[in-house]
């Protein structure tokens, strides 16, 4: 199951989160020759990370949503789909040729159909002090909790926006970790924007109920939650020492400071687009999600024949929606390969289509409630580092725009921001927002950073060995 035994498959699924393993399970059960490529050591993706190996007490601590992944992974394991862990995908082109790195060896495999299910990433938002040791993403902290039971030794402050900070604060409370404060950076005006969308959100099940439960449990546990925070800064010399936060109300500013050697931040999630951009898939600006995402139809199809994109990789929808979209894309892939008819596909997809549409009813409410203001998306302090790889500040980007480099790609060429090891994952959106703000244009009017393979770092030796292997 874990061995690459040939270079061509009917279906290759990239990613083993809920969308990827649902797609692979569905396709394998219909007789398709399918292989799943996964960077991680075991299936589950970020949301169900290490679910097969997590001790029972830790699984219970993480909650019912996490435990749901256990059955999903077990069904996938019994499907007969080939699973390749520890496999990095560094290239995908429009001919469905996939560059992979496995056991230190680079190689190319081909597929008749490709389903990209590489998920989402936390939105990088630069702010003063965000590069200090001790400052990390909430999702990264949750991974440490899931995989190794590691938590901040001296407590932590959690800041940002969205449901995830509440969930992790709740999980930390259950684990006995001191959460010194939860700082919600969504503007208070978002409540008025979100209110008309609440009735539709209630159709989507228990999302609202779970959020209220986390909030109430945190209050009962003595965790202070502060809303409407407009300023955030981490301070320290060689490590974070304090968190400074504050409000701007009617022209008056108020600031507070918390002593802390740990700050966890989260500003929502966005699709991972480097691979899909490299493949030539069309991307559009999603105003609600404030990011670029691939353009797909209900089956996950893109403008590139034979390449589908599912789950949060195609637009943020959550784990349940990802499962349904994975199964829909698998049925479409099987149909396109001539295994089932269009009528069979449409008959088998009804439940998943209905449940996915119902599950997504909550998205307009969440997007309105947790919408980020420009004051966060555009770093105000010129000294704030934006590109960590090349050490480019917000002030340098503004100066480049003033000198005539009027688009994100022009700034990239001039300053090298986005050319480091992360290939722009950490700075692309921030650069685009700064450029748009300086030019007083909507960010949607600009072309995002262009992406070329390898989208993951490869050594010269690995590339050289790839050529010899092909010969």
Tokens 């966060």 appear where?
376
Q: What share of the chain has pLDDT > 90, as a percent?
A: 80
Q: Determine the average pLDDT of the residues in 432-446.
A: 95
Residue 344 has pLDDT above 60, yes or no: yes
For residue 358, give the H/E element and its range: helix 342-359
Poorest-confidence range of 65-69, 144-148, 328-332? 65-69
pLDDT of residue 1: 54
Instruction: Grade residue 13 by pLDDT with cuts at 50, 70 and 90.
Output: very high
pLDDT of residue 197: 93
Q: Determine the average pLDDT of the residues in 40-66.
A: 86
Instruction: Grade residue 178 by pLDDT with cuts at 50, 70 and 90.
Output: very high
For 311-333, what is each residue's pLDDT tens digit?
Answer: 999 999 999 999 999 999 999 99
Q: Determine the average pLDDT of the residues in 32-50.
A: 93
Distance CA 157, CA 2 (A): 41
If you average pLDDT over every residue of the chain, what do you get?
93
Residue 57 has pLDDT above 90, yes or no: no
Q: Is the pTM of this model over 0.85?
A: yes
Which residue did the predictor score with more confidence, 149 or 302? Answer: 302
Tokens 């559009």 appear where?
284
Instruction: Grade residue 81 by pLDDT with cuts at 50, 70 and 90.
Output: very high
Distance CA 292, CA 270 (A): 8
Residue 136 has pLDDT above 90, yes or no: yes
pLDDT of residue 307: 98
Q: Determine the average pLDDT of the residues in 452-463.
A: 89
Residues 6+ apart with CB under 8 A from 129: 135, 233, 234, 235, 236, 240
Distance CA 120, CA 316 (A): 8
Instruction: Grade residue 205 by pLDDT with cuts at 50, 70 and 90.
Output: low
Distance CA 267, CA 373 (A): 11
- Helix 207-220 with 163-175: angle, nearest 10 deg: 50
Phi and psi dihedrals of 42, rounded to 5?
Answer: -150, 155
For 407-417, what is each residue's pLDDT tens digit?
Answer: 999 999 999 99
pLDDT of residue 470: 53
Q: Determine the average pLDDT of the residues in 370-382.
A: 93
Residue 112 has pLDDT above 80, yes or no: yes
Angle (CA) 87-164-183 rounded to 5° is: 135
Q: Could you give the C-alpha distances from 426 to 73, 130, 214, 274, 389, in angstroms and in order?
A: 30, 12, 29, 12, 9
Q: Determine the average pLDDT of the residues in 102-106.
A: 92
Please provide the DSSP assignment of 16-39 as one string: -SHHHHHHHHHHHHTT--EEEE-S
Which residue did the predictor score with more confidence, 465 or 434? Answer: 434
- Domains annotated for the chain, with CATH where assigned, are 8-121+271-340 (3.50.50.60), 124-267 (3.50.50.60), 378-445 (1.10.10.1100)
pLDDT of residue 3: 66
Biggest alpha carbon–alpha carbon distance for the chain: 69
For 383-422, what is each residue's pLDDT tens digit?
Answer: 999 999 999 999 999 999 999 999 999 999 999 999 998 9
Residue 176 falls in which region: left (phi positive, over 0), alpha (psi -120 to 50) or beta: left
Q: What share of the chain has pLDDT > 70, as a percent?
A: 97
């Amino acid at each position: 199951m874990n061995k690459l035994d040939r270079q061509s498959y009917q279906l290759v699924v990239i990613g083993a989160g809920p969308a990827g393993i649902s797609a692979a399970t569905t396709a394998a059960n219909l007789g398709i020759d399918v292989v799943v490529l996964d960077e991680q050591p075991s299936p589950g993706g970020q949301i169900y990370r290490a679910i097969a190996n997590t001790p029972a007490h830790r699984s219970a601590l993480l909650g019912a949503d996490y435990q749901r992944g256990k059955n999903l992974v077990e069904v996938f394991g019994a499907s007969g789909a080939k699973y390749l862990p520890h496999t990095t995908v560094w290239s995908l082109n429009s001919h469905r040729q996939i560059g992979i790195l496995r056991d230190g060896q680079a190689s190319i495999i081909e597929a008749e159909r490709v389903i990209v299910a590489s998920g989402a990433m936390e939105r990088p938002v630069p702010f003063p002090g965000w590069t200090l040791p001790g400052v990390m993403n909430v999702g990264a902290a949750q991974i440490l909790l899931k995989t190794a039971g590691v938590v901040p030794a001296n407590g932590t402050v959690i800041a940002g926006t969205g449901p995830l900070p509440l969930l992790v604060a709740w999980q930390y409370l259950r684990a006995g970790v001191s959460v010194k404060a939860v700082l919600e950076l969504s503007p208070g005006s978002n409540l008025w924007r979100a209110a008309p969308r609440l009735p539709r959100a209630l159709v989507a099940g228990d999302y609202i109920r779970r959020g209220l439960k986390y909030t109430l449990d945190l209050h009962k546990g003595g965790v202070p939650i502060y809303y409407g925070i407009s300023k955030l800064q981490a301070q320290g010399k060689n490590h974070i020492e304090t968190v400074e936060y504050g409000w701007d109300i009617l022209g008056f500013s108020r600031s507070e400071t918390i002593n802390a050697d740990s700050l966890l931040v989260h500003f929502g999630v966005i699709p991972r687009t480097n691979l899909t951009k490299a493949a030539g898939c069309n991307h559009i600006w999603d105003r609600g999600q404030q990011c670029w995402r691939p353009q797909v139809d209900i089956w996950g199809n893109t403008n590139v024949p034979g390449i589908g994109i599912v789950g949060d990789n195609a637009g943020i929808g959550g784990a349940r929606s990802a499962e349904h979209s994975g199964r829909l894309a698998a049925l479409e892939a099987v149909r396109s390969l001539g295994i089932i008819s269009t009528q069979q596909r449409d008959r088998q997809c009804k439940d998943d289509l209905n449940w996915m549409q119902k599950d997504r009813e909550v998205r307009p409410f969440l997007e309105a409630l947790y919408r980020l203001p420009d004051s966060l998306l555009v770093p105000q302090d010129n000294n704030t580092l934006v590109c960590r790889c090349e050490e480019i500040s917000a002030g340098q980007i503004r100066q480049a725009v003033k000198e005539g480099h009027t688009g994100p790609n022009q700034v990239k060429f001039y300053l090298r921001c986005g050319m480091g090891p992360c290939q722009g994952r950490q700075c692309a959106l921030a650069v685009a927002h700064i450029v748009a703000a300086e030019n007083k244009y909507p960010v949607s009017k600009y072309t995002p950073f262009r992406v070329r393979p390898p989208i993951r770092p490869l050594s010269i030796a690995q590339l050289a060995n790839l050529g010899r292997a092909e010969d």
